Every structure is written in C-alpha cells, then in structure tokens.
Structure 1
Amino acid sequence: MSLIEIKLPKSLSKALNLPVNSPKRQQIKVLKKLLKKAKHTEFGQQYHFDEILNSRHLGKRFQELVPVHDYNKIYNNWWYKTLQGATDVCWPGKIKFYALSSGTSEAASKYIPITNDLMSGNRIAMIKQLLSLRTYENLPVRSVSKGWLMLGGSTDLQKGPGYYAGDLSGITAKKMPFWFTPFYKPGKEIAKTKDWNKKLDFIVEQAPNWDIGFVVGVPAWIQMCMEMIIERYQLKSIHDIWPNLAFFVHGGVSFEPYKHGFEKLISKPLIYIETYLASEGFIAYQNRQDAEGMKLVTNEHIFHEFVPFEDKNFDADGNIKPDAETLMIHEVEEGKDYALLISTSAGTWRYLIGDTVRFTNKEQCEIIITGRTKHFLSLVGEHLSVDNMNKAVQVVSEELNVSIPEYTVVGVPHGNFFAHHWYVACDDHANAEELRIRIDEALKEINDDYAVERGSALKEVFLDILPESTFMEFMKLKGKVGGQHKFPRVLKGKMLNDWQQFLTTGTL
C-alpha cells in the first residue's frame, strides 16, 4: 500500500483541502484563530487579545500590543510557570511535552513547549508535503510504498514533574499516527535507545532486512549511517542493499556542502526533498520538484513575521533592537534577508526563532534559510552570511572534486586588524593553501562587502584541514549527537572556547 493512496479521515481531508487564498488572508486567518484560542490565557489577558481581535487592522494591532520575545525573555516571564505545572499560561491547558533544543550555539537546553495543536499542525504540513509528490515527474511510485528510515532522537523521554522532555524527533516518533507505523524504521523499540552508537549499530545490523524508500534526517548523520552500512557489508553503494531507495528528506542545514560526498554513496539518483521542521513547529517544506526554496506553511498553525536583517534592527552580536521594524508576509521583498518571528499553537508569541530566511519566490511564498542571527561574521563590515559561506564551499569543492561535509569559521584579531580562521573537514586529498585561496576568492565574487574589507581591515584568511571525525567527536563530547543536531558554521563565545580547548587537548 502506498502512503499517497491512504484514505484520510474526513476531518483531516477537509483540513488539507482549504480554499486557495492570498497569503495575507491566510495569515490573518491563522492569527485570528491563535488569538481566539489563547485569549483567556494569562498571556492573552496581559496583552489584550480581545482588543486585538476587535481591531480592523488585526496584524498591525498585534504588532503594537505584543512585544517581540527571544527565548530568555519568554521563558523568564512566562514559560517557566508551565514547567512548574501552571495551566493556561501562554496556551490553553497544561503543557505535557517540551522539545529540548540548544540550537547550535547555546550550552544550556531550551525547553520549547509542544502541544497537541502544534503536533496536529505539523502532521498536516507533513501530509501536504507527501501529497505534493504526486506532481513530480517520473516519480518512482514503487519506492513511495517502502519503508522510511528516520534518524532522530530517543522516544524514551526525560520525565519531569508532570511533563516529558526530549528531542522533537523523539516526541514526534512517540506520538506517531497509527497508520504510519508500518512504514517507520528503525521501529519504536530501537527508537527508545538513547545511546546513539547503539542505535546506529542496530540499524546497521537490521539494514539487510528492510526495504527502504525514504531516508530522513540531518545530512551528516544520514551520511555516517550509510557509510557504516556500506563498510559493514562491503558494498559498492547503499543501493546494493536498498535498491528502492529514492528519496532523501533533509533539513536544518544546507545540503550543498554534503552533496558531493553523499553522492559517492549511491548508484542511482535520489530525489532530494528539503524541510524546515524546527523545535517550534513545521515552518516550511519543498512542494515543487527542483524548486529553489521551500513553501512557508501559511494556513495552518503558525503566524509569520519578518524583521529585515540589517544593522538598524540588530546589534553587532545579532540581538534584535527594541525598535526593530517588523513586516507581515505581504510586505516582504524577494532577495532580502529577514529574521523570522513566529507565533504558534503552542504559546510561542512573536518569538525570534534565530534563523534568517530569504524569499526566492514571493508569489509561491518560497524561502531559503540563509543563516542564523548570531551565526554571521561582520567584524569590520564584511557581512558574511552562512549562505555566502555555503556557496563558496560548494563552488570550491566542485572545482577541486573534493568533499567538504563540515566547516566552521571564527573571527580573530590579527595585529591591529582582523582575520577569518576556517576549520574545514575533508578526508580527500586536498591542499590547505589552495583551499584557503579559492574560498577567499569565491567569497570576494559572492559578497561585495567582503571583497572591499579584504582590501582594508580584514587582513588575512587562515584555513586548517581536519578529518571529518574531529567534528563528529566534538559534537559527541558536547552531547549533540544525532537527531536535529548540526555543527555551527560560525563559532563564538563558549562554543568557540570549547572548540579551541578540544583542538588543543582532545577534551572539554
């Protein structure tokens, strides 16, 4: 039986077939639904949701009355109460699940509330993405009915006083709808395993017994798993054991730096499907074959706002300023970077998620992730984004025919001026000096500000080549293994100090 052919419940079918509307109208409808549901909560009373709902200009009044929050602000003022068992704080009822997330920089875990309403919206977005495969040309229909190998966090969640907490992928797997269970691998029993190495060993052991059509996860961990299977069974490619593997569903990081190395492991072309599933919600997904961007989820459970990622709105450390300009979806422009604010059906209100996005197709509401508000380099005005870095790495890896699956960049003093220090993972034969020169030249072509500053205060670029295992070992020591964890592209603060200590001593 194919997933696309499953007969859906009437209520879900109705939800999936919402009338086509303008993005602005869809978003106002979502905002109104969120405000109505939460108007009797403490947050709703504090910020006058009733008044907002009675306003002729709902979106603008919402922006006027409700402040922007980062994690620390909303946790310290509101969410901490829910962990203590309080109900009706930012969303009706009691919060029973929390996604543990530390992003890619902070050391302490964040507790992101997860509600049934949020999970329902996430599932509908997932089903819509799955159904969009029907529009793909030359769709390998046979593979659609095969297994889904999903590398995520443990479903054996941490138990707190009245709640459970864990990786979002673990919560999602634990609350998986019954109709998806036959397709799900590695299965619920092994999904409970907290030890990442044991989980991988089990998957490698069971790999010959599965007929996999989809692999789902962060590229680095999927690649590691496939390499282990190929090595264990002395295969030429992963298709020797999974001939029906046709889809790779990925997200969280740009796939381009991984693509060259990834395609060494396959003997048939795969359909790559990008998703934007954060701990705070299912934000966007690729719904058109070969689309440059992902379609924002505009009519379900998330209200989006966009803050132009400019000096007037953010300080040098990537913190949002109190008077930052915020836009709704009909006010954005293509080709500009925006920090994303979301309000969701889990009591996440005007929340700075930390990602920056760019609209590639405003009419289709399609975006790409360009980086993080705190993961960019602008020591002297070079304004170097993660997107710039990814493109440079992609260009150079293709020119030199080498795989660069991981990298990170540090801004450092250099005499009276400054420099960038690159740490690049490459297990192929590569010359560090050649990589340094080529990446530098590629960035000059991509980013005019960078080119100007390289002739001024940004005096030097350094580059070290390290084995990919060095990056993986650091992540293991940080407790960021598997699931949605990915290596930060820019290192600052404590993460930088830990990295430097690790390179010196091998420990943290």
Structure 2
Amino acid sequence: MAIIGKLVKAGLDITAKLQSEEENPKISQENQLRELLTQAKDTVFGKYYGFYEILKSKDLISSFRNEVPIFNYKEIDSKWWHRQQRLEDITWPGKPDFFARSSGTTGKKSKRIPITNEFIASMRSVGTSMISSLHEFSFSESLFESEVLMLSSSANLDKNKHGFQEGEISGINVSNFPEWYQIFYRPGKEIASINDWDERISAIADQAPQWNIGAIAGIPSWVLLMLQKIIERHNLKNIHEIWPNFQVYASGGVAFETYREDFEAICEKPITILDTYLASEGFIAYTSKPDTLAMKLALNHGYFFEFIPFDNRGVNESGEILKKPMVLGIDEVEVGQEYVLLLSSCAGAWRYIIGDVIRFESLNPPQIRITGRTKFFLNVVGSQLSEEKMDKAILKLAELYKTTINEYMVAAMKNEDGDYMHQWVIVSEVDAEGLSEKLDELLKSANKNYAVARSKALKSISLKVISKKMYTSYLSQKNKKGGQTKTPKVMKPEKMEALLNFINQF
C-alpha cells in the first residue's frame, strides 16, 4: 500500500504543475453563464425569458439581469420547479431523476431542489478540484493510502409518486457513487442506507476497527457524536488509537469554531480542518490553501454567481432582499464586504437566493467565508446581530467559563409586559448562573447597534442551559437526527416556545 500513497501524492504534484494559470474570474463566470444559457435555451423557462436573445447580446450578463428576475424558493418552486417534478424541459433539459430535500427538514414542508445528471457531475468535478488542491498541504503519504469516511444522510432514497427519488443531497451523492468509489469510501453503501440514525452510527462503531480512516467528511455536530460513540464502544482514549492515519476533517454545514475544542479533546494528533460549502444547491466552495478556513469559489463547474450587498444597497433592516437591490458580479465585489449569494446552475436554478451571507477574504483567487444566513440575522429592534457576531460572543463566553458551547438558539420575543427581549438557549454542561449577564456584556462591547438596542427597545435577555443529551433528545423528538440536519440559530418565537416547552418537561 505504501507505493500507492507515493504514486497518488506524486500524481497530485504533477497535476498541479501541469495546470495552466487560472482564467480571469470575470471571463470564467461569463463563459459559465453562456454555457448555462445555451444548454437551457430550449426549455420552457429559457423560451419564456428569451435566452436566445440574451445569448445574442453584446453584454451577456447585463442582458441576463434585465430579463430574468431574482427568485427565492417559494417563487421559483411555485412557478417552475413543481412542474419540473412531472414534466420535461421546464428549467433544465430533461426531467430530473432526483430532488434534494432541504437540509434538516422532513415531510410535506420540505424544499425540493432539482438534481440533474449535469449537476451531479458538477459536484464530483468540484470534489476532484478539492482533492487536487491537497498538493498545497504537507500531508504524509499515509493519507493517500487510507480510506475516507463520509457521514451522510441515508442513501436509502424515497420514491416519489412522480417517478423521481428524493432525499438529502449527501444521501443522493452517496447513492450515485460509482462502484470504484467503494475501494476507499466508508462506511459503504450498505451501512449508509440504514435509515435510523442510531442504528447507522452503531453499525459504523462496530465496523470501525476494520477500517483505515485518513479523512472524514460531515457536519461537525454529528461527526463529533459518531467519534465519541466509537471511542466509547471500544474503550479508547482518543480516536487516533483506532485510526492512527486520521489527518483531515472536511467540515461543512455550520461554523466549525464552536466545535474545535471538543474535536481536539478526542484527538491525540493535530488534524487539518478543511471547510466546505456544500449545499443542496451545489458544491459552491472549498478550502484550497493551508492555515485558513477561507474557501475558494467553484467558478468553473457549472455555476454562475451574483452578489447582493448585505447592507442598505441590497437588503432592508430585517435582512430581506429589496425589490430592486444592487447586484454585483465577481469582478465588482470587495474584500471584507458581506454579500447575499445568488446562484444560477446546471440544476435549473436561475438567479436563486440560496439564503447565505458570505464575505470575501481574497479576490485572487476569490475566497469566501460564510458569515450566516439572511434569516439568521436578528434585527427586530435594531440589534443587528449576525450569526458570525453571535458565534464570536459564544466562543468568548465559553473561553471565560472554561467550557465548550457547540450549539445555541436565540429568538426575539415579547415578555409579559409586551416589551422585546432575547431568549437564548445554549447547549453546554456549564452552570447557568451569571451567563446571561456576561453574554449581554460581550454582545454590547462587540456590537454598537446591540448596545443601543439594549438601552432602548430591547429590554432584557433570558438564557437557559441544556445538556447535549437533552439537545439530542429534542432533535430525536423532531425526527431531525443526523445527516445534514442543522438547528436554526435564530428561531421564530413559536419555535422557541416549543423548545422551551420541551425543556420545561424535565
């Protein structure tokens, strides 16, 4: 096996040297848009919005923006995607074999995102580019002799009455792995197809000693629980006792920093953290350089990106998109600025609001960080708390109390007097006494707008602490364990009430 590791590593180095200088981002993105429009020009959507005429325009991008409106999910689904479930050639040629249910949701209220063959190929292409970038890191040859454990949602997909299969995007990806992937992919399709989360994790823990895992991919909360289960099952001191070649963890779905300390506690050796932006709508970005969690945008893989400034030029005080927002291209964005991401893709998404807010860390190459979700922007009374700002305050709070806080939830609610207050619930083993006052201080000192809000309309904050066991029980009750499930950090009042009612049962 040692010779294989040497050959793979050498191959990555040679590939990196042979690759020509990357295309100018603006030219690259214009080419991507032209290709997307060309492929979709004969669809119902393409004919309705005049793709033929847009392709003849001297200014392709401006013409595209003038003719095609911006869509949120409700708009594009009600007008187009629901027809794509039954009919061919609606927003993309053919009829999708798969629809991705949006992360963390189940049942009739789930979003269903079309997944085309071209889209599956594009995600593989981005994954290949990510693997090719590993030559930038100083990984030992043993990594390339090892196996990759991908903790996905169930690969046992549901058959819809209209003929397509549906499930979370990670499960769809696993179900479409070619046979040769089985050489290095773990836990394998058989275990990955177990629907029950606890049974799947138990099966993984049973098989763990037989594997040689060098890299793991998945959402931090569920990967951490899986690793802790393996350690418990086999009475280990740390995960490296069973997987000594474990060197890389590809995170995604949520910010990693609130989990870093817990991961370090179960590892004997340092591991390299790579961040990924892999959503139901696409494999959008990935870490390609060492010593950073910034992610390189996938500019050449079937996606066309646009960017709406996350300020008064593009959104209102609640973070909602304006009727006529400013829209920028890849050549117009600025480092350090936050933007709402729009996506057009080979899945038949057109100028689609994913709902993520990103910030550019560099422009050459374009690298980003996800700073939050538009709907996780807490600004009912002008507090202007983004997910990133809340994460930083929670990390500082955990540091001060010498504990870890992986998850938290917050909602703007009204107290008995009808005044606004913030209700927090944090997942930790720390004593709750004094936490709310300290968190309030941290938010005030870090955010002027929050401090002003607290002196006026935002009258108080309340905080409850729940254990990780209780939090997992809550998710289990909601049938939201594992896979790509992510609890919203900013909740609507009714969701917070339901959570508080659950907590009060104990």
Q: Say if 2:149 is the partner of 1:149.
A: yes
Indicate the residue corresponding to 2:304 in structure 1. Answer: 303
Task: Say if 2:9 and 2:135, in contact at 8 Å, map to a contact too.
Answer: no
Indicate the residue corresponding to 1:486 in structure 2. Answer: 486
- Distance in 2, matches of 1:48 and 1:178, equals 41
Q: After superposition, what is the alpha-carbon deviation per residue over 1:420-478, rounded to whole angstroms, capped at 9, x for unaligned?
A: 12111112xx2323332332222223322112222222222221111012222222222
Q: Say if 2:166 is the partner of 1:165.
A: yes
Indicate the residue corresponding to 2:326 in structure 1. Answer: 325
- Distance in 1, matches of 2:241 and 2:384, equals 45
Structure 1 position 397, deviation (Å): 1.6
Q: After superposition, what is the alpha-carbon deviation per residue over 1:178-219, rounded to whole angstroms, capped at 9, x for unaligned?
A: 332211111111111111111011011111111111111000
Structure 1 position 6, deviation (Å): 8.8
- Which stretch shows the higher mean deviation, 276-285 or 431-440? 431-440
Q: Name structure 2 gaps, 5 residues minimum.
A: none
1:23 to 1:66, Cα distance in 2 relative to 1, 3 A: same
Q: After superposition, what is the alpha-carbon deviation per residue over 1:72-125, rounded to whole angstroms, capped at 9, x for unaligned?
A: 1111101111212x1010001111111111567998111101111111111111
Q: Note the 1:84-233 alignment, pairs <5 A.
A: 84=86, 86-102=87-103, 108-137=109-138, 139-160=139-160, 161-233=162-234
1:316 to 1:498, Cα distance in 2 relative to 1, 3 A: farther
Q: Say if 2:480 is the partner of 1:477.
A: no
- Distance in 2, matches of 1:454 and 1:497, equals 22
3-state SS in 1 of match to 2:120: helix
Letter in 2 for 1:145: E
TM-score by length of 2: 0.93
3-state SS in 2 of match to 1:331: coil
3-state SS in 2 of match to 1:31: helix
- Distance in 1, matches of 2:62 and 2:345, equals 17
- Distance in 2, matches of 1:176 and 1:76, equals 31
Indicate the residue corresponding to 1:275 in structure 2. Answer: 276
Indicate the residue corresponding to 1:21 in structure 2. Answer: 23
- Distance in 1, matches of 2:169 and 2:478, equals 18
3-state SS in 2 of match to 1:319: coil
Indicate the residue corresponding to 1:422 in structure 2. Answer: 424
1:195 to 1:7, Cα distance in 2 relative to 1, 3 A: farther
- Distance in 2, matches of 1:312 and 1:210, equals 52
Task: Say if 2:317 and 2:382, in contact at 8 Å, map to a contact too.
Answer: no
1:30 to 1:106, Cα distance in 2 relative to 1, 3 A: farther
Q: Tell me the C-alpha RMSD between the 2 structures.
A: 2.2
3-state SS in 1 of match to 2:376: coil
3-state SS in 1 of match to 2:341: strand
Identify which of 48, 55, 59 aligns with 1:46. Answer: 48
- Distance in 2, matches of 1:281 and 1:101, equals 12
Task: Say if 2:318 and 2:378, in contact at 8 Å, map to a contact too.
Answer: no
Task: Say if 1:37 and 1:92, in contact at 8 Å, map to a contact too.
Answer: yes
Task: Say if 2:85 and 2:95, in contact at 8 Å, map to a contact too.
Answer: no
TM-score by length of 1: 0.93
Identity of aligned residues (%): 39
Structure 1 position 500, deviation (Å): 3.4
Indicate the residue corresponding to 1:457 in structure 2. Answer: 457
1:80 to 1:456, Cα distance in 2 relative to 1, 3 A: same
Indicate the residue corresponding to 2:431 in structure 1. Answer: 431
- Distance in 2, matches of 1:144 and 1:424, equals 39
1:61 to 1:93, Cα distance in 2 relative to 1, 3 A: same
Structure 1 position 234, deviation (Å): 1.5
Q: Say if 2:65 is the partner of 1:63.
A: yes
Q: After superposition, what is the alpha-carbon deviation per residue over 1:349-402, rounded to whole angstroms, capped at 9, x for unaligned?
A: 011001111111123211111111111211211110000011111122223221
Figure out how many residues of one structure are paired with residues of the other and give that number: 497
- Distance in 1, matches of 2:287 and 2:29, equals 19
Letter in 2 for 1:53: L
Task: Say if 1:106 and 1:495, in contact at 8 Å, map to a contact too.
Answer: no
